[in-house]
Amino acid sequence: MSSNSMPRSVSLRRSVLSVPAINSRALEKTHGLDCDAIIFDLEDSVAPEKKAEAREKLKAFFSGKPLANKERIIRINTLSSTFGHADMELVRTLEPDAVLLPKVNEPQDVMSVGDLLADADAPESLRIWAMIETPRGILNAAAIAEAGRTQGSRLDCFVLGLNDLRKETGVLPQPGRTYLVPWLMQVVLAVRAYGLDAIDSVFNDFRDADAFDAECAHARAMGFDGKMLIHPAQIDAANRHFGPDASAIAEAEAIIAAFADPAAEGLNVINVNGRMIERLHLVQAEGLVHKARLIAERQTAK
């Protein structure tokens, strides 16, 4: 199937906060946060001897007050680990919005979890997100994205994991991420080819607001849809950078209005305020306005 037949859905994933499932206090605090999505982490942030306890705490949290206006994602341990299959049992029981697979190296990693969900008759709304955080994952990003978008697949989103990638490649953590940019753009290209979203990696020093702000701007310029966060203090900046600003919304509305004019009927290129605008820009404008509407609805629902 060609990439042209893969329409990209519009989702609100500007700020994706990771919360350790072992931390009951942090779990309860998620109700009052203004992030778009929560990753309930059973993997890196939970010690091996605490994995079972974390699953029980997450089960108790999901049985309590519903988490409103936020996408709910559970990050499991790898299926090859001691804990992965118990995590998947919990996913099948709780039915979050998505399951996040760590260290995805090849298409089969995604397809195997898709088969498990299908065998368990999990609802189609339960999607798959993939952590791309290894050299093999980067090299296979396009193949993973393509395989994950075949008929019946649940793959929706890639999340970059640069801490593991730096560890495995020896690339140093430097401002601007100069030596990582080619790999970042390779992932963005893969997701855009197959209609997925891309979430940028965490920024580790949540106290350095200026550097985090700069990295958000950098990631947005590269085409990422949002950023994975490690602290609530990072939410506002991520929402600001990855959400449309007032001028972009106004321009998008002008493009939509111009193509709605009967004079534009049958035209693929029109003049909007002195600029030549193609119908592909209309699709982009409609997506941006839809995202702005989702943000407004979330604010109203608070």
Specify binding-site residues for Mg(2+).
Answer: 133, 164
Strands of 196-298 (E only): list them. Answer: 197-200, 226-229, 269-272, 275-278
Task: Name residue 229's beta-bridge partners.
Answer: 17
Residue 116 · residue 88 · CB < 8 Å: yes
Query: Is residue 140 classed as helix, strand or coil in its secondary structure?
Result: coil
Nearest Cα residue to 92 out of 113, 66, 71, 106: 113
- Pairing status of strand 226-229 against strand 269-272: unpaired
Q: Compute the distance between CA of residue 196 and CA of residue 155 in angstroms, rounded to an integer.
A: 8
Region for 274 from its dihedrals, namely left if φ exceeds 0, alpha if ψ lies in -120 to 50, beta otherwise: left
- Binding residue ranges for substrate: 75, 133
The DSSP call for residue 81 is S
Buried b (16+ CB within 10 A) or exposed e, 139-173: ebbbebbbbbbeeebbbbbbbbbbebbbeeeeeee
Token pair 């290894």: residue: 134
Give the contacts of 57 (CB within 8 A, at least 6 positions apart): 21, 22, 24, 27
Query: Both tokens of residue 214?
Result: 């700069």
- Binding residue ranges: 75, 133, 164
Instruction: Report residue 17: phi and psi, to 5°.
Output: -90, 130
Strands of the chain (E only): list them. Answer: 15-20, 37-41, 71-75, 98-101, 127-132, 155-160, 197-200, 226-229, 269-272, 275-278
